[in-house]
């Protein structure tokens, strides 16, 4: 059975996959579990009526499982794990929250207009903690095997790399060698290559947020 999943279309290009890291997380999960699926692209700037009828909240990702539409990437990933347990992506509980503050730290830094407000240092601290974890446990968060934690982090690290490179000419310090190895490993996976948005759409997605800050 092919699962239907509603994902963000690129801004200004409704026929092209957009830049939502939470949509990509769900697609990565489906790819890694080898579950067939079909994307329905949704223009979030001009949401179609059929989409609002099945999902009044208007958010993506949204997936149809057993004739029911389900929203929220956390919920979706949990249900996919229960429904398709044969390729388990469940991380050991002690690793479940590794790197969980990186995205919020990145968002604060990319929107920041004040170089001395501490947002850069806060992000560096989170990345350093990830680097130390990977040094001890790597190459993935839970060791040799990819898990749901990696699939949640991968799109966020991609956004971080693209958006900070574009808006702040900023890159992850070379000294964080384990983080660099980790991103290289994640971004080279077949599942990631198949589901990643084009860099220009990531930049276009962040533009209004950065300029509004």
Active site residues: 20
DSSP symbol at 46: S
Q: Distance between CA 114 and CA 122 in Å, rounded? A: 14
DSSP symbol at 62: E
Please work out, in degrees rounded to the nearest 5, the angle formed at the alpha carbon of residue 8 by the alpha carbons of 24 and 52.
130
Q: Distance between CA 186 and CA 193 in Å, rounded? A: 9
Query: Under a CB-based contact definition with an 8 Å cutoff, are residues 102 and 131 in contact?
Result: no
Please work out, in degrees rounded to the nearest 5, the angle formed at the alpha carbon of residue 114 by the alpha carbons of 109 and 117.
70
């Amino acid at each position: 059975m092919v699962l239907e999943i509603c994902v963000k279309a690129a801004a200004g290009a409704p026929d092209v996959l957009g830049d939502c890291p939470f949509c990509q997380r769900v697609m990565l999960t489906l790819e890694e579990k080898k579950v067939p699926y079909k994307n329905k692209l949704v223009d979030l700037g001009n949401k179609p009526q059929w989409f609002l009828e099945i999902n009044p909240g208007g958010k993506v990702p949204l997936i149809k499982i057993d004739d029911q539409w389900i929203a929220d990437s956390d919920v979706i990933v949990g249900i996919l794990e229960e429904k398709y347990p044969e390729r388990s992506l469940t991380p050991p509980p002690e690793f479940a929250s590794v790197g969980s503050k990186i995205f919020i730290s990145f968002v604060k830094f990319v929107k920041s207009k004040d170089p001395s407000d501490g947002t850069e240092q806060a992000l560096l601290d989170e990345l350093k903690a990830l680097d130390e974890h990977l040094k001890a446990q790597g190459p993935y968060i839970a060791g040799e095997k990819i898990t749901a934690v990696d699939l949640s982090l991968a799109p966020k690290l991609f956004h971080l790399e693209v958006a900070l490179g574009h808006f702040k000419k900023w890159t992850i310090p070379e000294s964080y060698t384990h983080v660099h190895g980790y991103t290289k490993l994640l971004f080279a996976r077949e599942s990631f290559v198949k589901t990643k948005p084009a860099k220009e759409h990531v930049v276009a997605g962040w533009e209004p947020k950065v300029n509004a800050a």
